[in-house]
Amino acid sequence: MPNLTARKINALKQAGMYGDGDGLYLRIGPTGAKSWILRTMVHGKRRELGLGSASLIPLAEARETARSLRKIARAGGDPDTVRKRTTLTFEQATMQVYENLLPTWRSEGHAKRWLSAIERYTFPYFGTRPIETIGTSDVLSALSPIWAEKNDTAKRVKQRLAAIFDWAKGAGHYPHENPVNGLLKALPAVKTRVVHMPSLPWQSLPAFMSALSERKGLSARTLELLILTATRSGEARGARWSEFQGAEWVIPAERMKSGRPHRIPLSDEALAVLDKVRGLDEELLFPSQKRNPDGTSRVQSDVVFKALMKRMNIEGITTHGFRSTFRDWCGESAKADREVAEAALAHSFGSKVERAYARSDLFDRRRTLMNSWGQYATGKAGKVVQMVRA
């Protein structure tokens, strides 16, 4: 049981060491100056650590500091080294992790979203605090308001927090267990439902493509290629001439969501789009009007398609939804085999064992599928073209 009280500390005048318990002592020097001392074992040797003046540090704070340093010593660390290193705030730790991860991300947009979510949902709670003072209860306070309402966002923030504290612990800035680990039972289970991207019915696509072909501007050409190749927004906007050879487009692994390179057979209709933009830029098929500060070509912004849809007076569909349009057409009209349709979308299919033995990317069968898709989408097919099943 602690032996000291605030009243007793004020009353003590004689020089000496006065124990409070658990290795914490009040030292009174010959001149009457009072200071806090922690006696503990560090790496098998007894050490005395000065905790500061008793006139500046109240008893409760001295006990808390002593408790924290003893915990470090028990874990095999050196409390004195921990105390003397530069204190890192949570914001500073976040920025360090952000800088470390920046080269690994596929796009600037992803990097911005990673950081903005942390800034928005955690910085107001403990951004300026020393990271070693942050515990599970603090993390819980930040996540609880958004856990049910914005569960997907909250899960992503939780994952990023875990990465930040893992880095801080490994770098010696956080002496405790990762506080995110204690949230397993503290946050309620949330049932999530699949939200499908609003898509254009495949029966309406030829009319849409006809209207799109009449639009001027580079974003319209980008969207044409995106639809004709069933690719994602970033894959189409970032298309580079070096990725094309003949009637084949190979998107490198670093630009794919799956992290694997993706070969795409190009239909005559897709090749026609390439002819329309040939010569605009040496590197990019669809360069932004703005240039990078160093004068190099810049990829179009991810908002160009939204602006294009607005100019076309079209509402209720998303760019990503055209992949659903393609997939529905594959199943309902072309009667394409599932594995061919999924391969065209760069999706994995089948069980883990099936994927391990699937050496082929079904390229030749996908070429037949994409040729039929190009003809259908541009209204050249006089009737529904049914795929020949293998």
pLDDT in tens, 113-168: 899 999 999 999 999 998 988 999 999 999 999 988 888 899 999 999 999 999 98
What average pLDDT does this structure show over 230-251?
95
Contact between 217 and 280 (Cβ < 8 Å): no
Residue 12, exposed/middle/buried by CB under 10 A (0-12, 13-18, 19+)?
A: middle
> Residue 86 and residue 130: Cα distance in Å, rounded?
10
Sequence-distant (≥ 6) Cβ neighbours of residue 109 within 8 angstroms:
234, 302
Residue 280 CB coordination number (10 Å)? 13
- Which of the four pLDDT bands, split at 50, 70 and 90, describes residue 364? very high
> Residue 251 and residue 245: Cα distance in Å, rounded?
11
Helix 268-277 with 218-229: angle, nearest 10 deg: 160
Sequence-distant (≥ 6) Cβ neighbours of residue 196 within 8 angstroms:
324
CATH topology of domain 202-377: hpI Integrase; Chain A (1.10.443)
- pLDDT value of residue 382: 55
- Report which listed range, 94-108, 242-256, 287-301, is most confident: 242-256
- Which of the four pLDDT bands, split at 50, 70 and 90, describes residue 4? confident
> Residue 52 and residue 44: Cα distance in Å, rounded?
24
In CATH, 6-84 is 3.30.160.390: yes
Q: Which residue has the tokens 């028990």?
A: 74
Helices (H), the chain: 6-11, 59-74, 79-84, 90-101, 108-121, 123-126, 136-147, 151-170, 205-213, 218-229, 233-237, 268-277, 304-311, 321-332, 338-344, 352-357, 363-377
pLDDT for residue 57 is more than 90:
no
Residue 185 CB coordination number (10 Å)? 7
pLDDT for residue 352 is more than 70:
no
pLDDT for residue 197 is more than 90:
no
Q: Where does CATH 1.10.150.130 sit in the chain?
A: 90-183
Contact between 52 and 27 (Cβ < 8 Å): no
- pLDDT value of residue 356: 45
- pLDDT value of residue 174: 86
Contact between 223 and 305 (Cβ < 8 Å): yes
pLDDT for residue 52 is more than 70:
yes
- Which of the four pLDDT bands, split at 50, 70 and 90, describes residue 207? very high
What average pLDDT does this structure show over 385-390?
37
**What value does the mean pLDDT of the chain take?**
86
Q: Where does CATH 3.30.160.390 sit in the chain?
A: 6-84
The gap from C-alpha 383 to its chain's centroid, in whole angstroms, comes to 44
Q: Where does CATH 1.10.443.10 sit in the chain?
A: 202-377
**Which phi and psi angles does 164 have, rounded to 5°?**
-65, -45
pLDDT for residue 287 is more than 80:
yes
pLDDT for residue 185 is more than 80:
no
CA distances from 96 to 88, 123, 124, 165, 177 (A): 10, 15, 18, 11, 20
Residue 306 CB coordination number (10 Å)? 12
- CATH number assigned to the domain covering 90-183: 1.10.150.130
**Which phi and psi angles does 215 have, rounded to 5°?**
-80, 135
